[in-house]
Structures are given as structure tokens and as C-alpha cells.
Structure 1
Amino acid sequence: MKKWFMRILGSIALLAVVLVGGFYLGGGMTLVARIIAPSFPDFPQAQTQLVAGQQGKLYYPTQTPFDLDVLLAKGDRAEPTTGVGTLFMPEGASEDAPVPAMILLHGSGGISPGREMEYGQMLADNGYAAFVVDYYAPRGASTEINYMRRVLSVTEFDAIADSYGALKLLRTHPEIDASKIGVGGYSYGGMAARLGMDDRIRQALIGDAPGFAAHVDYYGPCFQNLKSDKITGGPLLTLRGTEDASNDLAACVEREQEIEAVGNVVEAHVYEGAGHAWEVQVPRQLSPKSPYVAGCEVQYDDIGHSSMGGTPIVDFPLETPRIERIAARMQSGSVMNPCVHYGYIIGQDDETKAKTDAVLLTFLDTYL
């Protein structure tokens, strides 16, 4: 149980976890990044077309942009990658009666007991297909890899790329309604599900094809502002707790208002007394050493470069390789350190889970 608890302690955004100090090693950072970045695995051949009756583990084409500027550039800088996920199909799905679907993105601790796979099955039991994406495994960041190595080498933009790759794949399944596919995620994955609403990202990853029909953000941190002036169109559901300090609730309201301001529906729920990761099967407790970002905002410009308070975080040539970008993130502690705080409630809360399960299903019944 302790092993799983340690895996989810850092289920906030990558920047909050790695920029606490102690990683700044000057000129040796590129070498350190090479040591930290795992090798990509040799996966089976990716599928681009699904057939009736298909479910279980699937491999599909995606990419590894690492940073937003690479993703938006739509060139060959993002490394081609084979994604992986597990598809749950409900009974009764058929070509004559295709079902809506949800793509689920895990938190920074990876797929955790009580959460992603269980929600995949729960959705299938309620008439939805569900595809649980593992965005760590395609980049060598398996559960056998140290937690810090995983969060340093895989970003929210990699998770977003995987979600759109999964969208393209599921649209080929004869028993899934291609017009009714949503995306949701938990913590780090929830942030990715929300950031992926930026229409520039949709255009970069799937061109003129429609985006997701709905988005669900379970307690995703809100300190990143993509400054999006156009959103893909699907409604957004957000679920947060008052005792989850990893969610700066004031910042989350700002992000939600920005999405509403460009014409999207936002349904926001905040649960009194709820902490972080209330579905995960570890005892609810205060995690005093878990870091989070509050009181600061990371902003992105039109080409995807990030800064905070006018100080650049990502500001280097597009051709900069992934290893150098990992090193750059490791060195940005001096920018982020004033915004890093510690300690929030995390763990199983059955009462909040029951409430949010009901809200989730009502939301999906309404919009999918």
C-alpha cells in the first residue's frame, strides 16, 4: 500500500514536482537528463483501424512533442511514438447501435488502484466505451522506473498528444459513435484533458477533424494559462475539493472563466472537505512533503513558449532536442521556486467518490 501511496504523492503538474531545488547542476544537466530519460520500448506494430468486437490492450500512432512549441509547430520535431491503452466495451455495443466513449488519462503517479481501470469498467457497465491511456509506458517510464525519472521525462503535452491519437483510433471502431468521444483525466491527466481544449492543439494534432465532444477534469492543477482565444467546443466538467491545496481554487476559477468567455459550457463542482485523489485506494491523510504550485501563473505565447512574471521558462529554438528540453525543465527551479508550497490531503474518500460518480454520469448522459 505504501508503494502505491508514494506513486501518487506527486499527482500535480510536472513543474511543481521537479522545480523545488536540488536539481540545478549547471552545465552537467544535459548529462543528467540523458541518465534520467528512459529509452522508448519496442512495442508491437501500431493499429490505425479497429474492427467490430475489438477491445483490451491496443497500440496506436502518436507522438512525443515534450513541449508546446514543438506540438504547435506541426513539423517533424516531435518524435513518432507508439501509444498504448486498454479499451473497455459495454455489452450491447454493435455496428447498428454504436456507443459513446471516454478516453481516460492517468495522474502523474501512473495508473493507480481504484481509479483509471476501475473507472474504465464502471463506464462500460453504464453503456460507455472507455479507453484508459498509459502515456508513461510508450516513453519507457514504466512503474519499475523511479517516480522522479517518470515525471521528468514525460509531460502534459505528451499526454495531450496521446489523447488525440486515441481519439483518431477510436473513431475507426465500428461500435463506437465517432461524434461522441470525450476525454477526461485525473490530476496531471485532468490538467491535460483541459489544456487540450485549445483549438491550436486540435489543429496541430488532427487537422480539421472535430475535437472531443466533452472534457472532464478531476482535480487538475490550474497554474498554466495557454492564453487560448479559441476552444474546441466540447463542454467541460471540473471536480475539486476544498482541502486539496494542489488545486489553487482561485486560479481554477480564472481558468474556467476564460473557457466560458470564449463560448464554452463549464460545469464546476467543489466539494467541501474533499482532498486529492479521493478514488485511489490509500488511506486519506495529509501528505506534508507533497509539493504544489500556488500564487503564480505560467503563461504561454503564440508559439508555445512559457514564462512566469516575464521570466522565460521555455524559450529556445524549435530544433532543441528532447534531452536538452528535459535538462531545461530541471534547471528552471529559480523561476518556479517562490511558488512551490508543500502539504495537502490525499487518499480514499468514499463519500466524495459517490457524489462525483453521480455527477460524472449525469454530465456524460447530457453531453454524450
Structure 2
Amino acid sequence: MHTVAERWEWLEPHVVVVGPEDDRPRPAALLFHGCGGMRAHLPRYAEAAKAAGWRAFIVDSYAPRGWSRTFTLTTVCTGLVLRGYERAGDLLAAIQGISARPDVDASQLAVAGWSHGGWAIMEMMSGEPSPGAFGVADPASVDLSGVKAAWLAYPYIGPFAFNRMKAWRHCPRVLALTARKDHLTTVRNAEMVNAMIRNCGSEVESWVADGTHAFDEPTNNGPMRHHPELTEEALRRFRAFLGDAAPHA
């Protein structure tokens, strides 16, 4: 089993970094893809973070594991492997590793997750960091106090998300994006989860977008349909959310 530091050493070569071309410490947004892996919409969010004065780090959970998109669509997306509470170890490693960079302000971090990535964020926030939890040997070694904001884009909160109503141990500011036509959850279920997070002490902004799951991804797959106009609105809200979290970036 990896330590957190070993997990970061494993992940770091596959992280895409986008940001202003300077070396001063800046707020950092950590972006975590959905179960389909690295897709074309994530660099657009990274550019939105850059425009807000942030550095963005797109973390690929699949390349270090040698997993193809075909494999993950049939295993991760169906809940057979790497459930959110297991992937949370990647988030902890990224938080610790990116916080140590001299060009990052470790006191101003945002985590952003789409679908499966949002599930992993929620598991990290709610789970007990006992040895071996989240698939890493020393999860308690990671300080979450620098995480000031969480962007949850249509997070998976279905049957395998056993802890979706469990109180968070760290409660940053949250923007919770729910897709009204999401085939994986109802708006009512999402709002119940949002209310739980709000009751923990988080400031939670809830946006119900009139689209399908993964509407901001430029593909049409099954019940999911790309919605260009809603995508532009999501990008605008993401940039504004980061701007509010660190107005002097």
C-alpha cells in the first residue's frame, strides 16, 4: 500500500499544470475527472482558473494505473473498481504534493470534481482517516485546512456512495452543480445531500442546471447530451467561484 508521498510520486508525472507564467505562490485548483477519464472539457476549466489568477492541476487517476478508457467505462463507471472512497487517496496525495510546491499558496486550495471525482471529494471530506483508509497507509498525515473551496459537478451520489449523508470532517465553501436531467440522481436527492453539507457549517451554493449528466463534456453518450450554452455558464460560474474564494489572486 502506498504512503501519501508515494502516491503523489506515482501521480505527479501525469498531472497537467495550467497557470500564469510566473513563479509566485498562487491559489491552486485541483481538478479530478469523472469515471470516463481525462476529457476535453477539463482544460477549459483549467483555463478558467488561470483567468481567475489561479494555478490549475488536472490529476489523471488512470494513466498511472495503466487503464484505458474502454476499461474504465466498463469497470469504474459500473462501480466494479476504484470507488470514490478508494480514489480519495489520490486526492489526499495531490493536496499534499501540490501544497509543497513553491509556486502554490497552500492556504488557498480548491478541489473540483466531476461525477466520480466529486464522489471522491465527498468521501475524502467525510471519511475517517484511519491507517489504510482511502487506499493509502497514512491518510491522517494530510492537512485539509488549506482547502477553502470545493466544486462538485453532478457528483455521483447513487447507491455505492454509502457515505453521501455522512457529516464532513472539513467544511469548505461549496458550489454544488446538479443536472436536472441526471440519470444517476434526482434533484431531490442532490438537495438532501447539499443540505447535509450545509448543516456541517459549509456555505453551499446550489445550481440546478437544465441539462443531463456530463452536459459540459463535448460528447453525446447514452442519456448524456452536450449542452454548449450551459457549458459556457458552468465555466463562468467556476471562474466566479474561484474569484470569490481568493479575490486577490
Which range, TM-score by smaller chain? 0.7 to 0.9
What amino acid is aligned across from residue 221 of structure 1 in structure 2?
A: Y
Task: Compute the displacement of 1:251 (Å).
Answer: 1.3
Task: Compute the displacement of 1:186 (Å).
Answer: 0.9
- Asked if 1:207 is matched to 2:145, the reply is no
SS of the residue 2:170 aligns to: coil
Match of 2:108 in 1: 180
SS of the residue 1:178 aligns to: strand
Q: Distance in 1 between matches of 2:21 and 2:44?
A: 20
CA contact (8 A) 2:76 2:83 kept: no
Larger Rg: 1
Task: Compute the displacement of 1:214 (Å).
Answer: 1.1
Q: Distance in 2 between matches of 1:146 and 1:90?
A: 29
What amino acid is aligned across from residue 56 of structure 2 in structure 1?
A: A
Match of 2:226 among 342, 348, 351: 348
Task: Compute the displacement of 1:157 (Å).
Answer: 2.2
CA contact (8 A) 2:26 2:103 kept: yes
Q: Distance in 2 between matches of 1:112 and 1:92?
A: 24
| Residue 146 to residue 155, structure 1, CA distance change in 2 (3 Å) | closer
Q: Distance in 1 between matches of 2:185 and 2:76?
A: 22
Match of 1:116 among 42, 53, 58: 42
Match of 1:258 in 2: 196
Structure number having the greater helix percentage: 2
**Percent sequence identity over aligned pairs:** 21
Alignment of 1:92-107 (within 5 A): 92-95=21-24, 98-107=25-34
Match of 1:162 among 73, 80, 90: 90
| Residue 184 to residue 230, structure 1, CA distance change in 2 (3 Å) | closer
Q: Distance in 2 between matches of 1:243 and 1:367?
A: 29
Q: Distance in 2 between matches of 1:231 and 1:165?
A: 18
| Residue 202 to residue 193, structure 1, CA distance change in 2 (3 Å) | farther
Q: Provide, for residues 128-162 of structure 1, a one-character-per-residue CA deviation record: whole Å limited to 9, x for no partner.
A: 11111111222232336463245533221232110
CA contact (8 A) 1:124 1:130 kept: yes
CA contact (8 A) 1:106 1:189 kept: yes
What amino acid is aligned across from residue 149 of structure 2 in structure 1?
A: A
CA contact (8 A) 1:239 1:268 kept: yes
What amino acid is aligned across from residue 154 of structure 1 in structure 2?
A: L
Match of 1:68 in 2: none
Match of 2:179 in 1: 241
Match of 2:151 in 1: 216
Q: TM-score, normalised by structure 2?
A: 0.81
What amino acid is aligned across from residue 197 of structure 1 in structure 2?
A: M
| Residue 126 to residue 365, structure 1, CA distance change in 2 (3 Å) | closer
Alignment of 1:255-334 (within 5 A): 255-272=193-210, 274-283=211-220, 287=222
Q: Distance in 2 between matches of 1:229 and 1:276?
A: 25
What amino acid is aligned across from residue 186 of structure 1 in structure 2?
A: W
CA contact (8 A) 2:87 2:120 kept: yes
CA contact (8 A) 1:188 1:221 kept: yes
Match of 2:135 in 1: none
Structure 1: unaligned runs, 5 residues or longer:
1-45, 49-59, 64-80, 288-343
Alignment of 1:48-59 (within 5 A): none
Q: Provide, for residues 88-113 of structure 1, a one-character-per-residue CA deviation record: whole Å limited to 9, x for no partner.
A: 24225323xx2111111111111112
Structure 2: unaligned runs, 5 residues or longer:
132-137
Q: Provide, for residues 219-272 of structure 1, a one-character-per-residue CA deviation record: whole Å limited to 9, x for no partner.
A: 112233425344302111111221122222211111111111121111110023
SS of the residue 2:219 aligns to: coil
Query: CA-atom RMSD, angstroms?
Result: 2.7
Task: Compute the displacement of 1:83 (Å).
Answer: 2.0
SS of the residue 1:278 aligns to: coil
Match of 1:86 in 2: 15
Q: TM-score, normalised by structure 1?
A: 0.57
| Residue 208 to residue 279, structure 1, CA distance change in 2 (3 Å) | closer
Match of 1:133 in 2: 59
Task: Compute the displacement of 1:207 (Å).
Answer: 3.2
Structure number having the greater strand percentage: 1
Q: Distance in 1 between matches of 2:95 and 2:142?
A: 13
SS of the residue 2:128 aligns to: helix
